[in-house]
Amino acid sequence: ARAQSTPSTSALASSAPRGQRVVRSWIKLDLGRPIPPTHDPWALGDAFAIECIGRVSTKVTLAELKAANGGAWSEFSNHSWHCVTGWTCEALTFRGVDLDAVLRCAFGDDALASYACVYQIASDGYTVGVDSRDCAGAFLAVEDGGGSMLSREHGGPRLVFPALFGWKSAKYLQTIKLLERYDDDGLGFWEKLGCHRRGRWANDERWSENAAGVWNWLAWMTNLYARFGGE
């Protein structure tokens, strides 16, 4: 199953953010690395656990998160997914829990005021850091709009940051690490290769100036895929 996207003609015709074009379906992009067999939320279901590292280290299961959320997942509807390479998929629906609720479940209320960066580590080795100022409205997407575990091809469960481009959302999430500073230790895979530290789509924060040539080429290749195979 995949997150539901049911764009109407009017939705497809709507104005996407600067530098973006609307596509009909949520395009699959990842590093192409193998996923360890131990990372299997699709088989484990509510027993699947995410490691959380802050002042203490712990693990929280999906069952614990659901219980902390009143016994059911919240719905996050009409979400637009903006890829740094230039495409936007609209009207996605997810079910899950607010990031704040995840952190409270793992660390208690004190965690919410004591971090500057949410550093994500994926089971395939992907890493990415998110500035705490960009976490408003962030949530853990556990299921798609139909109530099935977010699919393997889209790497669920994963954190989603509505204000940021999609690369800031690590597929195959294994670990959430809270950092007291967002310095070089908080830079992830793409940031080290030239992507912007913040990645806010509304500000068109895609990449650093000295990396623009590489990223413009990648955007061109991805748009070819979107036009001829990804839509």
- What pLDDT shows up at residue 5? 44
Per DSSP, helices labelled H in 69-143 are: 99-107
Assigned token pair, 186? 């908080």
Assigned token pair, 48? 């699947």
- How do the domains of the chain map onto residue ranges? 4-230
Give tens-digit pLDDT for 58-68: 999 999 999 99
In the chain the beta strands, taken as DSSP E runs, fall at 4-5, 21-23, 49-53, 57-61, 74-82, 87-98, 117-122, 127-131, 139-144, 158-160, 173-179
Q: Tell whether the torsion through CA atoms of 211, 213, 216 and 218 is positive or negative.
A: negative
- What pLDDT shows up at residue 110? 75
Let me know: does 155 contact 30? Beta carbons within 8 Å: yes
**Mean pLDDT of all residues in 22-37:** 90
Whole-number percent of the chain with pLDDT over 70: 83
| Strands laid side by side in the 57-61 sheet | 57-61, 49-53, 173-179, 117-122, 127-131
Domain 4-230: what homologous superfamily?
Oxidoreductase, molybdopterin-binding domain (3.90.420.10)
**Mean pLDDT of all residues in 97-125:** 91
Whole-number percent of the chain with pLDDT over 90: 71
- What pLDDT shows up at residue 231? 46
Let me know: does 33 contact 124? Beta carbons within 8 Å: yes
Mean pLDDT of the chain: 87
